[in-house]
Amino acid sequence: MAATLISRLGLRYSALETRGTLDHGRKAMNGTRALATQNFHVPVVNFGKFWNGSPQDRLAVSNEVVRAFKEVGFLYIKNHNIDQNIIARTFYESDEFFKLPQEVKDRLAWEDPRANRGYVKQGRERVTQSNDPDEIAELRRTAPDIKESMEIGNDSDPVWRNHWPSPIEAPKFTPTMLEFYDICHELHMDVLRAIALGLGFEENYFDPLADGKYHTMRLLNYPPVARELLAAEGQARAGAHSDYGSLTFVFQDEVGGLEVQNPHTENYIPATPIPGTIVVNVGDLLARWSNDLFRSTLHRVVSPTGTDSTGALTPKRQSIAYFCNPNADTIVECLPGCEGDGPKYPAVRTEDYIVGRLDATYN
């Protein structure tokens, strides 16, 4: 089964990428950019030389990362050092989890924004930019996000515990997710080190501010749904939003549907899956940290387009989003050298900000 999924995530990705220009009208630019719409594109950054290159190579990669986050807020990262077999295995275990009986999943339900752990059934969440509880409640009632998810946090947290299915229900789920959680944390730290170098800081500037694994790994299942439903006003698989934390890693299957807003035109362009890459985007806390030097860009998940997905029902979609955060007690305030005409935001404690946003989203 794992080998089948590896094929789905590899060979079928390649086929999708090959026909991408026919399906979506995109123009490939020598492999250095993935998408282009009115000069707005999501760049592909080769991260391999950050680990293996000369000091000049490492700085060049760091500058690419910083430039992408300034201009777009998104990038694709390739040569990221996460083994494709591990990614495929994690997708497989995620898929098996969502096949469990509903009563089993409901027993693991998300309960508290301070914990941010557990199963979220379809219709409970409505991601949005609004902070108004009444407006969010109305959106949840009229146009809920058409997805279900499983939230996993740091399993060493002394207060908040993960909601694991039993080994009988899902024998390999817990060890697989714990392994993947730690691997993604290490990549997060390396991307922060690249950001530090690109901003002219010491490489380890962010280490003591973000090394506590205060992250959330979200497994996502988008079930098949009638395309006409997604065409309704305000309806989407996941509504337009920016993320709350510092960085997000998005692992996609081959279906597609993720779109990024061009802030200059407010149009959306598809962030089509590219084999061997991870989508990385800036979250609100990193934008605040940088005094908006970095862009926290709106994005959404919609019905996929193209000649391969024209049925009355959308295809099932899987993704894994790894939401990276500074440490819970880190005070996020304007970074040195980013002041410009002065700080735009008051200092905020990470946990206070994240919990406040989650509380509004779910309750």
The token pair that represents 183 in the structure block: 């691997």
Phi-psi map region of 111: left, alpha, beta (phi>0 left; psi -120 to 50 alpha): alpha
Mean pLDDT of 279-295: 97
Q: Is the sign of the CA dihedral 198, 201, 207, 213 positive or negative?
A: negative
Residues 7-43: tens digit of each pLDDT: 444 433 333 333 333 333 333 443 434 444 457 889 9
Residue 134's domain is classified under what CATH number?
2.60.120.330
3-state secondary structure of 361: helix
Using pLDDT thresholds of 50, 70 and 90, give the confidence band for residue 145: low
Higher pLDDT, 58 or 1: 58
Query: What is residue 22's predicted lDDT score, i.e. its pLDDT?
Result: 30
Residue 195: CB atoms within 10 Å: 25
Closest CA to 31 of 88, 81, 78: 78
Task: Report the domain count for the chain.
Answer: 1
pTM (predicted TM-score): 0.83
Half-sphere exposure in the Cβ direction for 18 (13 Å, CA): 6
Question: What residue ranges in the chain does DSSP mark as E strands?
Answer: 44-46, 74-78, 118-120, 148-152, 216-222, 238-241, 247-252, 258-261, 268-270, 277-282, 299-301, 317-324, 331-332, 348-349
- Segments forming the whole domain that contains residue 89: 2-362
Using pLDDT thresholds of 50, 70 and 90, give the confidence band for residue 348: very high
| DSSP assignment of 3-32 | HHHHHHHHHHHHHHHHTHHHHH-----TTS
Using pLDDT thresholds of 50, 70 and 90, give the confidence band for residue 230: low
Query: What is residue 362's predicted lDDT score, i.e. its pLDDT?
Result: 60
